[in-house]
Amino acid sequence: MFAVTSTAGASKADTYRELASQLAALLAEETNALANSANTAALIHHGLPGLNWAGFYFLHGRELVLGPFQGKVACVRIAIGRGVCGTAAQRRETMVVPDVAKFPGHIACDSASRSEIVVPLLQAGKLYGVLDVDSPSLARFDNDDAAGLETLAAIFLRSSSLTSLAGIGAAV
């Protein structure tokens, strides 16, 4: 049994250090990407305050397809270059959006989401998908969140055999 250790009252840097340590321990003996993405989404959703959605979209052909997540039901398919997730995948860079209503082409899967951060999942130059995190608060995410979530995404990628997700990954 693995229990998420509370980070209540910790600084943002300390919170991400603790989550990175917990994620590395959680994924240490498992390589299945489906199982690891489910546990990663749960750890992020329950370990970070002020979130309403945390999860994965994996690349299938020329679109992102919903993977494991925590939160309300979500959009199933997102075209590359569309919305925050598709744009982050296309640009291959982390996108921090303080107000999703001001993002051109934003896809409102949950109308309660006000800010969003998306980290592309890149390994050896290959795009596998994105890690997507939403908040009902404006400007919830900043550069510290980007660095922290990029670290968590790297731990997920390092620990997971992405070949266990048939059909994912392509050069975009």
The verdict on residue 55 lying in a domain is yes
User: Which domain covers residue 112, as residue numbers?
Assistant: 27-163
pLDDT value, residue 3: 73
Give the pLDDT confidence score for residue 108 in this predicted structure: 82
The DSSP code sequence of 27-49 is HTT--BHHHHHHHHHHHHHHHST
The structure's pTM equals: 0.94
69 lies in some domain: yes
Chain segment 44-91, per-residue pLDDT in tens: 999 999 999 999 999 999 999 999 999 999 999 999 999 999 999 999
Q: Is residue 16 in some structural domain?
A: no
The string of pLDDT tens digits covering residues 16-50 is 999 999 999 999 999 999 999 999 999 999 999 99
* Residue 58 within a domain: yes
Q: Which two tokens stand for residue 165?
A: 């997700």
* pLDDT higher than threshold 80 for residue 134: yes
* pLDDT level of residue 98 (50, 70, 90 thresholds): very high
Q: How high does pLDDT run on average in the chain?
A: 93
Residue 9 in any domain: the answer is no
Which neighbouring-strand residues pair with 119? 131
Q: Per the structure block, which two tokens stand in for 117?
A: 């951060």
Spatial CA neighbour of 25 closest among 130, 165, 121, 152: 152
Distance CA 17, CA 54 (A): 18
Q: What domain count does the chain have?
A: 1
28-32, 108-112, 122-126: least confidently modelled range? 108-112
Return the closest-CA partner of residue 122 out of 162, 69, 95, 62. 162
- Is 53 inside any structural domain? yes
Q: Does residue 143 belong to any structural domain of this protein?
A: yes
Q: What residue ranges in 19-109 does DSSP mark as E strands?
A: 53-60, 63-71, 77-79, 95-97
Task: Give the list of residues 6+ apart from residue 20 with CB closer than 8 angstroms, or none.
Answer: 148, 151, 152, 155
Could you tell me the CATH number of the domain that includes residue 92? 3.30.450.40
**Confidence check: pLDDT of 7 > 90:** no
Whole-number pLDDT of residue 171 = 45
Tell me, what's the pLDDT at 49?
95
Q: Look at the block and give the residue holding tokens 């990954």.
A: 169
